[in-house]
Structure 1
Amino acid sequence: MHTQLPHLNSLKVFDSAARLRSFKKAAKELNVTPTAVSHQIKALEEALGTLLFERKTRAVQLTQDGELLAETTHNVFQLLANVVNEISSTKNIITVSTTSSFAAMWLVPNLDKFYKSHPEIEVAIKTNEQVDDIEKDRRIDLVIRYGIYDDSIKNSIKLITESVGMYSTPSYVLNRDASTDINLLETKWKNENLPEISWNLLLSNKVHKNKIFNIRQFDQEHHVIQAALAGQGVALISSLLVKNALNQGWLQDYKIAEIDQEIKGFSYYLLVPERNIRNKSILEFKDWITNEIR
């Protein structure tokens, strides 16, 4: 039966073209020419006696047979990769996709702890503010997302729900004259689906006692933290992301008399694609980050 299978290389080329929906992108991924990809796909179609792609002017689209084969090759290559990683003596590489701020302010500073206990695993970090389709994009092994957690999401686990606090450098507190304006720093979400957490909402309908508040916005939380570290004002930011800065004494809590309520934030949650739920290296990382972040 095995002798009837197409050549493995042609299946690999097909898998790449089907996943990326482009011969040109597949050629770039495989480091070959688009013509070579086209020839491999044509040879595979002739061997199977069916069309796998519909060729359009500037795009290709999978046929029904192509969709069926794409789903199978996708699963088979991922399973093969998982087994090879598990039995190989070389270092395993897992790719984690997450937000820029979480990567910069929590994951990277804590990653050395993971390496000490798992030296055989290397973590590659991909930052993206958009939502990746991890079931289709095999370049991503797991994602850490930020937002409102829904426990009905398959193969997901909530890592932590943050609180939001007000922080500044000790020098900002000491050097700010009581009569001067207060600079307030905040994040304006790129993701419009996230509910607003802002100084204006917190200060609305409050008695300001002649204080003047200047609000400055950034589109990344770690930019807000960097501005606070530079002594530019008081940051409204996740207590999780400033934990290292607090431990080092670089930032401290800042109390504004007009704001006395608890500020609720969002959740960080981990999501593993179906193909990786039994991958040993990914399970090791999942166990580590679940325990470390809590």
Structure 2
Amino acid sequence: MLSNVPISAIRAFEAAARTGSFRDAANELHLTPSAVSHAVRKLEGTLRTILFERSARSVRLTPAGENLMRHAGAAFDQLRRGLEEVAARPQLVRVHSAPSFAAQWLAPRLAQFLAAYPKLEVRLAANTDYARFSNDDFDIDIVCGPPRAEGVEVVPLPEETVTPLCSPALAKSIRNPADLLDQTLIRSDVKQVQWHQWFTANGLEAPALHGMRFDRSFLAIATAAEGLGVALESTLLAERELASGRLVAPLSGRANDIRYFGHRLIYPRASRQRSAVRAFADWVVAQLGDEDVRSPQ
């Protein structure tokens, strides 16, 4: 039986079953959707069974298809790992990230990732644009806010705590939320959580804001660490400054913080680098799971 089944047909079936789409499978295999469909139909004819239930927009495995996919998926995973080992070349993971997450959290930890995965290399780019997976420039994107891409896996990163942060010297004059009305409040224009929301959560009317404003959280954090005002920022992004004592949360336990899911990790469902992408995604989630990102220290 196996000698009568072209390996190309099994490959087309595995890609379509994994992605749930003939179109995504075709993109991955550099074929047309009709070529993938034809290969699957030929395989079904050889096996004399139906592997997919087809509709206008999607395909779904039949019980026979699910049975074959268990074996084919495992076989192709083994084959991919074997080819990677034989090639003995570092595999490149191309990561795009929101700038502040990249600067404050990801870049300082890349050495840990590379030590854990010595056969992988990382290329990191950071800007406020979303990665375009269609042009194959990136394998992973870490976005701030809801993702806009289609046909991607979405991994929500842990909940973050947003709270006022300032230098230890400035914190001495901040004992309750109302004390912030007399302080210089630093703004981050692109943040999802703004000062007016924090004041509302604490039963106060937000003051008119003047002075320093930035378009990146890492700039607001750096400015607050220099003692120039109070920033409303995520304790996840400011964890190094909090750990070193350059920043403190003066109202920790004395005010209502805002908690939200700020970042998400996304990657194409039809990624050709599944093992490397999965390794990086799992590592990010594990690193964040080992940290207390829900409340300031």
Q: Shorter-chain-normalised TM-score: which range?
A: 0.5 to 0.7
Check the 8 A contact 2:151/2:268 in 1, yes or no. Answer: no
TM-score, normalised by the number of residues in structure 1: 0.61
2:274 aligned to which of 260, 263, 279? 279
Amino acid of the structure 2 residue aligned with 1:285: F
- Name the residue aligned to 1:92: 91
Measure how far apart 1:255 and its partner are.
2.2
Amino acid of the structure 1 residue aligned with 2:170: Y
Measure how far apart 1:263 and its partner are.
1.1
Amino acid of the structure 1 residue aligned with 2:214: F
Structural RMSD (CA)? 3.8
Measure how far apart 1:106 and its partner are.
0.3
Amino acid of the structure 2 residue aligned with 1:182: Q
Structure 2: segments with no counterpart, 5+ residues: 1-22, 32-75, 290-297
Amino acid of the structure 1 residue aligned with 2:189: K
Counterparts of 1:87 and 1:251 in 2: how far apart (Å)? 49
Check the 8 A contact 2:28/2:272 in 1, yes or no. Answer: no
Q: Secondary structure at the match of 1:270?
A: strand
Check the 8 A contact 1:95/1:123 in 2, yes or no. Answer: yes
1:246 aligned to which of 225, 233, 242? 242
Measure how far apart 1:118 and its partner are.
0.9
Is 1:185 the counterpart of 2:186 in the alignment? yes
Check the 8 A contact 1:155/1:277 in 2, yes or no. Answer: no
Measure how far apart 1:227 and its partner are.
0.6
| Map 1:155-234 → 2, pairs under 5 A | 155-174=153-172, 181-189=182-190, 196-203=192-199, 206=204, 214=210, 216-234=212-230
**For residues 139-166 of structure 1, what are the alpha-carbon distances to aligned partners after superposition, in whole Å with 9 as ceiling and x for unaligned?**
101111121479x974221121211011
Query: Which is further off, 226-235 or 85-94?
Result: 85-94
Q: Secondary structure at the match of 2:237?
A: coil
Counterparts of 2:138 and 2:130 in 1: how far apart (Å)? 12
Quickly say closer, same or farther: Cα 1:73–1:212, change in 2 above 3 A: closer
Amino acid of the structure 2 residue aligned with 1:183: T
- Name the residue aligned to 1:75: 29
Counterparts of 1:74 and 1:221 in 2: how far apart (Å)? 36
Check the 8 A contact 1:181/1:213 in 2, yes or no. Answer: no
Measure how far apart 1:182 and its partner are.
1.1
**For residues 241-283 of structure 1, what are the alpha-carbon distances to aligned partners after superposition, in whole Å with 9 as ceiling and x for unaligned?**
01121111121112299x8223133332111112327622111
Check the 8 A contact 1:168/1:234 in 2, yes or no. Answer: yes
TM-score, normalised by the number of residues in structure 2: 0.60
Q: Secondary structure at the match of 2:193?
A: coil
- Name the residue aligned to 2:262: 267
Counterparts of 1:131 and 1:268 in 2: how far apart (Å)? 13
Check the 8 A contact 2:98/2:126 in 1, yes or no. Answer: yes
Q: Secondary structure at the match of 1:253?
A: coil
Amino acid of the structure 2 residue aligned with 1:240: L
**For residues 6-61 of structure 1, what are the alpha-carbon distances to aligned partners after superposition, in whole Å with 9 as ceiling and x for unaligned?**
xxxxxxxxxxxxxxxxxxxxxxxxxxxxxxxxxxxxxxxxxxxxxxxxxxxxxxxx
**For residues 70-110 of structure 1, what are the alpha-carbon distances to aligned partners after superposition, in whole Å with 9 as ceiling and x for unaligned?**
x9576349x9xx78656421222111111110000000112
Quickly say closer, same or farther: Cα 1:207–1:272, change in 2 above 3 A: closer
Quickly say closer, same or farther: Cα 1:261–1:153, change in 2 above 3 A: farther
Check the 8 A contact 1:92/1:121 in 2, yes or no. Answer: yes
Counterparts of 1:242 and 1:222 in 2: how far apart (Å)? 8
Check the 8 A contact 1:165/1:236 in 2, yes or no. Answer: yes
Q: Secondary structure at the match of 1:272?
A: strand
Quickly say closer, same or farther: Cα 1:171–1:139, change in 2 above 3 A: same
Counterparts of 1:149 and 1:137 in 2: how far apart (Å)? 17
Amino acid of the structure 1 residue aligned with 2:107: V
**For residues 212-231 of structure 1, what are the alpha-carbon distances to aligned partners after superposition, in whole Å with 9 as ceiling and x for unaligned?**
97553211111111111111
